[in-house]
A and B are shown apart, each in its own frame.
Chain A
Amino acid sequence: MLESVKASIGDHLLLKLKGGLEIRGTLMPRYGYADDRHITIKLGNGYNIGILVSRIEGVTVEKRGTFEPSKPSEASFKSGGEVLILGTGGTIASRIDYRTGAVTSVLTPSELYSSVPELGDIAKLDTEVLFNILSENMTPSRWDEMAKRVGRAVKDGYRGIVIAHGTDTMHYTSAALSFALENLPVPVVLVGAQRSSDRPSSDAATNLLGAVTVAAMADFSGVYIAMHKGLSDDVIAVHSGVKVRKNHTSRRDAFQSVNSRPAALVHLKGLRIIKNLELPPRRDGHQDFSVKSNFDERAFLVKYFPGMSGEIIDHLVEIGYRAIILEGTGLGHVGKPLHESIGSAIDKGVFIGMTSQCLWGRVRMTVYDTGRDLLRMGVIPLEDILPEVAVVKAMWLLGQGATFEDMVKLMPMNMRGEVSGRSLISYEHGRT
């Protein structure tokens, strides 16, 4: 019926329904998994409704739609800015186009300045859409690409780099960049949003403000994640890239520092940065800065649970994995049925490191027999490294050509702040 009158999205239609009802409205796209037995019409009062196709007796196109296809975003914008914002996709950098159903980037400078005018007061910004993917589709080769782009930006003299990123895997990326960017002289700040930027309550603007403030003004360097500290739009927490985790599915303050306090806080009133930890200083030169961005994907993260058998370990070895990070119980244990497989994996030169599914605290495998048995087999305790950080570090070390012996030595050693020498009694009492 619609085809017979060549109705297309955006056209103003007059529909005659069975029973005599007439409906005027604009033909809209169908989203997501909507069925094809209905069409969506936007009425004059702004409401969308679905109409059963089989109820339509007649269609007239009253006016052809004037929708222009949404313009592709400017891929990059350069004006000799101080801070470079890189878009990689995710909630913060994209918005649904309600006319076409397409997801478009919102990272053009004009869009940024119009939605967050305060950004212009902090620093001159350049922006670039590096790629536009959902964060669950992030891969180590994308980390490589990001690290190289940041490397060029540092050499080009930017005071700081902000990376807009989907939140789901943002803490993996922050860990990857922490390892890949050696002797980084400036701050690199990843930032995301838990509420999409097409809603007035989005945290995108405030998180961006916090991230750009750190990138432009902080006196420290390194890789960080900037997200809400709590439910209020007042303080942005700046987490160290290797001590942070997404700990909630939906809250604005989903990102939390684990086994550390947030590295710094940004108070949005007055844009004050308050450091909570000793952090590497910002440096002028970049002579010793290098990008080591090769990742070897043959590292695997295994979460242990009661009843797990060793076959999975055998299989991983069989298909060529070279490092396995165990997310064990408590102080760093896995059940007896796995021990034989673990022993034989290590004999074959596969690195096996132990982290804890408790997340908070340090593994200590000398306390119980199980731990001692695993240690004797050659399982390496990874201190208080987060499991996700450990698997990223393993990929990176392997990518840098590490041998089994190098892995045994380097995995538990602090390289980028991922291992803390001391576990503080409380992480609550940072400065606020």
Chain B
Amino acid sequence: MSTAGHEGRIDYRSLKLRVGIELHRQLNVGGKLFCSCMPVREEGPSHFTRLLRPSESELGEMDPAARFEAVKGFEIKYLYGESSSCLVEADEEPPHDVNEDALKAAISIARMLGSNVVDEVHVMRKMVIDGSNTTGFQRTMLIGIGGQLKVGDRTVGVQTVTLEEDAARIMGSEGRVKKYCLDRLGIPLIEVSLEPVEVHRSPQEVVEVAASLGRSLKSTGLVARGIGTVRQDLNISIEGSGIIEVKGVQELPLIAKIVDYEGKRLHWMRTVSEELKGRGISRERAVEGPIDVTDVLSKISKGFIRRVLSSSDVALAILARGYDGLLGDEPYPDVRIGRDLATIAKLFGLGGVIHSDELPGYGIEESMVGEIRARLGASDLDGFVIVVGNEAIASRTLEAIASKLREIVDGPPSETRAPTSDGKTRYLRPRPGAARMYPETDIPSMEITEEMMRRAEAIIPPTWDEQVKGLAGRYGLSRKLAEEILDSEMYTLFEDIISRYSVKPSVVAATLTEAITSIRREGLDVGKITEIHLKSLFEKISSDEIAKEAISDVLEAIAGDRAKTVDEAMDVLGLRTVSDDMLVDIIGEVLDANSTLIRERGEKAFGPLMGEVMSKVRGKVDGGKVSELLREALERRLAKT
């Protein structure tokens, strides 16, 4: 297959690229949705481990996403602490009544978006068995249907407004054990799903819609701010494709890149599907096998396959009919079927896959390729995929890969994908069907009374404009800066910092918005800059340890991985040294503050004064120099009096 002509830009309009946004934001109503725990960050110290098994849903079918997670067979380790988790999070106690403030906030938001609030709310269980919920499902309830959002001259329809519980926070995995922290589980989330937006000229259009929805939610004052309090899911499709659900995009700027990448990826998958049909391949005939090829691969003398196979593992292969050349082709950067197949293998805990388009290679010689092809009965147009590992895991992995290869024949398949930090996506699991919802029988349905509607509608926030003006006036910020900080995830942090430290609000606001944005533009990882860093930075500014001129340098040092803490950044940047002029100033301040002591004790005041000056400059300037300059200054003071 030629890849020429695929490079670079694509025509979104002719692809009929459509993107539906689901915005999830934590509600800032204190407490969790189904218990009285506090939404505080807490990692451990205790833990328990669980296994999840999918159950039949209400409609009696096993959900494809659930099945996929189940056959992976992971064990899940949950870390918990006492403030943020109780038996409800541990799935050891039935849920309590729904948090009324959260319900009220959800109704207010639904009304603000012009949504029809349901007469009676039913809590549902949405099957999620990747371990992120101890129950194996997420509790969620539909609050509003319909509505609209104005974005510039476009009106975007609102599909639904739902209230749900946040999932546990993933902490990584060790072997076949996944680790989650329970602190985030159960925090109330509002989810707004918008009608799909057609991309005309640029994916930036999608970013604008998401930003606008974000602003309207933030304007209510009911949602939480901060990193991790907001996540966007994107439902992306092109003509002839299934729907790709990209889960959990945290930053707005990534959205444009992801939409562009998915547009290209779906375009390629559609091209592959057409090519397969052209080669006469049907879904049913697309895959054969698996067969055991351990004996062929054990002839390899060196390399990773040799190392893996020396243990008790096996090599299994499937025939990918019609796929020759299509597994390894990469028409756009990182758009390649082989990449997705490797991701599936990794999800099963294996290292990756070997496919025919990359052979000979990995120590597999031409003759071995021929032998494998012969055994699989492969024609010139066929490809094959090999996985190496524990027999049971390898065969389950190949089952998942086979079903993916079959699906592609009928067009780009629906699936759930995860965003990567560079604005691409990777395969996560099949897209769950409607089958995954069933009623939460532990909680009775709740009637939304007129009284509740009145109370919810009484929460009418000032308009965005009024809020910006108020903020600008209160803290002496420019209108532009006030709007930027109000729109920022850092807004709560901003309020927190100016209430704690004596620093100019405009300096804090500019740091949290403009300074961080320009560091991101330089290509540094601003994700490395945490709230702890920022608080520590402003603490040092308020105690004059760091001049505000050094703010960008300190943050760049952290984002650029040259320092892990603000203190380290000060060392790296040489901010510890105190110039002679600064030292003279400091000495002058100390003498001013101690005039009584100096009057009473004369030259004998030197000792305590020396101690005080040293406490301010220790580590930054030589003690001998301090002693010399202090003695001179003290003598001048005494001479004056």
Footprint of B on A, CB under 8 Å? 19, 21, 23, 31-35, 38, 40, 43-52, 55, 95-96, 98-99, 115-116, 194-195, 197-202, 205-206, 230-234, 249-252
Shortest beta-carbon distance from A115 to chain B in Å: 7
Complex Cα distance, B66 from A63, in Å, reads 29
| Chain B residue with the shortest CB-CB distance to A70 | B60
Partner of A50, one of B59, B116, B122, B438: B122
Q: At the interface, yes or no: B93 with Cβ under 8 Å from chain A? A: yes
Counting chain B residues whose Cβ lies within 8 A of the other chain, the interface size class is 35 or more
Check if B129 sits within 8 Å of A200, measured CB to CB: yes
| Chain A residue with the shortest CB-CB distance to B91 | A201
Check if A205 sits within 8 Å of B53, measured CB to CB: yes
Q: Which 7 pairs, one residue from A and one from B, show the smallest C-beta to C-beta distance? A: A50-B120, A200-B136, A46-B437, A98-B58, A47-B142, A52-B119, A231-B48
Q: At the interface, yes or no: B492 with Cβ under 8 Å from chain A? A: no
Given contacts A52-B120, A115-B53, A200-B129, contact A44 B434 (CB under 8 A): yes
| Chain B residue with the shortest CB-CB distance to A99 | B58
Complex Cα distance, B125 from A199, in Å, reads 9
Hey, which chain B residues are within 8 Å of A197, CB to CB?
55
Check if A202 sits within 8 Å of B53, measured CB to CB: yes
Given contacts A49-B120, A115-B55, contact A201 B126 (CB under 8 A): no
Check if B142 sits within 8 Å of A49, measured CB to CB: yes
Interface centre among B48, B94, B141 (most CB of A within 10 A): B48
Q: Choose, from B217-225, B363-371, B441-449, B610-618, the stretch at the interface.
A: B441-449
Shortest beta-carbon distance from A402 to chain B in Å: 42
| Chain B residue with the shortest CB-CB distance to A249 | B93
Cβ < 8 Å to A, chain B residues 107-156:
116, 118-122, 124-127, 129, 134-137, 140-142, 145-146
Complex Cα distance, B52 from A250, in Å, reads 18
Hey, which chain A residues are within 8 Å of B40, CB to CB?
none
15 more contacts with CB within 8 A, not counting A40-B122, A52-B119, A198-B55, are A33-B444, A46-B434, A46-B435, A47-B160, A48-B437, A50-B119, A50-B445, A95-B56, A96-B441, A98-B59, A199-B55, A201-B91, A205-B53, A230-B48, A251-B87
Hey, which chain A residues are within 8 Å of B116, CB to CB?
19, 21
Partner of A233, one of B49, B59, B94, B146: B49
Hey, which chain B residues are within 8 Å of A19, CB to CB?
116
Hey, which chain B residues are within 8 Å of A96, CB to CB?
441
Q: At the interface, yes or no: B54 with Cβ under 8 Å from chain A? A: yes
Complex Cα distance, B136 from A195, in Å, reads 11
Complex Cα distance, B285 from A70, in Å, reads 36
Complex Cα distance, B46 from A231, in Å, reads 11
| Chain B residue with the shortest CB-CB distance to A50 | B120
Cβ < 8 Å to A, chain B residues 142-186:
142, 145-146, 160, 162
Q: At the interface, yes or no: B436 with Cβ under 8 Å from chain A? A: yes
Shortest beta-carbon distance from B399 to chain A in Å: 15
Secondary structure of the A contact surface, majority rule: loop
Check if B49 sits within 8 Å of A234, measured CB to CB: yes
Complex Cα distance, B50 from A233, in Å, reads 5
Hey, which chain B residues are within 8 Å of A230, CB to CB?
48
Partner of B92, one of A35, A48, A55, A251: A251
Given contacts A38-B447, A45-B434, A231-B92, contact A51 B120 (CB under 8 A): yes
Q: At the interface, yes or no: B470 with Cβ under 8 Å from chain A? A: no
Complex Cα distance, B48 from A55, in Å, reads 48
Hey, which chain B residues are within 8 Å of A32, CB to CB?
441, 444
Partner of A201, one of B50, B140, B146: B50
Hey, which chain A residues are within 8 Å of B162, CB to CB?
47
Check if A47 sits within 8 Å of B124, measured CB to CB: yes
Check if A200 sits within 8 Å of B58, measured CB to CB: no
Complex Cα distance, B124 from A40, in Å, reads 12
Complex Cα distance, B437 from A52, in Å, reads 22
Partner of A47, one of B55, B87, B437, B444: B437
| Chain B residue with the shortest CB-CB distance to A252 | B92
Check if B66 sits within 8 Å of A200, measured CB to CB: yes
| Chain B residue with the shortest CB-CB distance to A115 | B53
- Give me 28 A-to-B residue pairs in the complex whose CB atoms sit less than 8 angstroms apart, sorted by A's number: A21-B116, A31-B441, A33-B444, A34-B445, A35-B447, A43-B142, A45-B142, A45-B160, A46-B436, A46-B437, A47-B122, A47-B141, A48-B124, A48-B439, A49-B142, A50-B120, A50-B121, A50-B445, A50-B447, A98-B438, A99-B58, A115-B55, A195-B91, A201-B135, A206-B51, A232-B48, A232-B50, A251-B87
Q: At the interface, yes or no: B541 with Cβ under 8 Å from chain A? A: no
Given contacts A46-B434, A198-B56, contact A21 B444 (CB under 8 A): no
Given contacts A23-B145, A200-B53, contact A55 B119 (CB under 8 A): yes
Hey, which chain A residues are within 8 Å of B126, CB to CB?
46
| Chain B residue with the shortest CB-CB distance to A117 | B53
Hey, which chain B residues are within 8 Å of A48, CB to CB?
122, 124, 142, 437, 439
| Chain B residue with the shortest CB-CB distance to A43 | B142
Hey, which chain A residues are within 8 Å of B121, CB to CB?
49-50
Complex Cα distance, B124 from A19, in Å, reads 27
Hey, which chain A residues are within 8 Å of B48, CB to CB?
230-232
Check if A50 sits within 8 Å of B146, measured CB to CB: no
Hey, which chain B residues are within 8 Å of A95, CB to CB?
55-56
| Chain B residue with the shortest CB-CB distance to A250 | B93
| Chain B residue with the shortest CB-CB distance to A38 | B120
Q: At the interface, yes or no: B519 with Cβ under 8 Å from chain A? A: no
Hey, which chain A residues are within 8 Å of B546, CB to CB?
none
Complex Cα distance, B94 from A251, in Å, reads 10
Complex Cα distance, B47 from A230, in Å, reads 11
Check if B447 sits within 8 Å of A200, measured CB to CB: no
Shortest beta-carbon distance from A177 to chain B in Å: 28
Partner of A250, one of B50, B56, B92, B146: B92
Complex Cα distance, B449 from A38, in Å, reads 12
Hey, which chain B residues are within 8 Å of A43, CB to CB?
142, 145
Hey, which chain A residues are within 8 Å of B140, CB to CB?
47
Hey, which chain A residues are within 8 Å of B445, CB to CB?
34, 38, 40, 50
Shortest beta-carbon distance from B263 to chain A in Å: 25
Q: At the interface, yes or no: B90 with Cβ under 8 Å from chain A? A: yes
| Chain A residue with the shortest CB-CB distance to B54 | A200
Check if A201 sits within 8 Å of B52, measured CB to CB: yes
| Chain B residue with the shortest CB-CB distance to A98 | B58
Shortest beta-carbon distance from A35 to chain B in Å: 7
Hey, which chain A residues are within 8 Å of B125, CB to CB?
199
Check if B55 sits within 8 Å of A202, measured CB to CB: yes
Complex Cα distance, B444 from A38, in Å, reads 13
Complex Cα distance, B441 from A197, in Å, reads 13
Complex Cα distance, B90 from A325, in Å, reads 37
Hey, which chain A residues are within 8 Å of B142, CB to CB?
43, 45, 47-49
Complex Cα distance, B49 from A234, in Å, reads 8
Complex Cα distance, B397 from A134, in Å, reads 42
Complex Cα distance, B56 from A98, in Å, reads 10
Interface centre among B50, B59, B87, B160 (most CB of A within 10 A): B50
Q: Mark B29-58, 1 if CB is under 8 A from A, else 0.
A: 000000000000000000011111111111
Given contacts A99-B58, A195-B91, A200-B127, contact A50 B134 (CB under 8 A): no
Complex Cα distance, B136 from A205, in Å, reads 14
Hey, which chain B residues are within 8 Å of A31, CB to CB?
439, 441
Q: Mark B556-589, 1 if CB is under 8 A from A, else 0.
A: 0000000000000000000000000000000000
Given contacts A33-B444, A199-B137, contact A50 B118 (CB under 8 A): yes
Check if A51 sits within 8 Å of B118, measured CB to CB: yes
Given contacts A99-B58, A200-B66, A201-B136, contact A49 B118 (CB under 8 A): yes
Complex Cα distance, B445 from A96, in Å, reads 17
Interface centre among B49, B59, B121, B122 (most CB of A within 10 A): B122
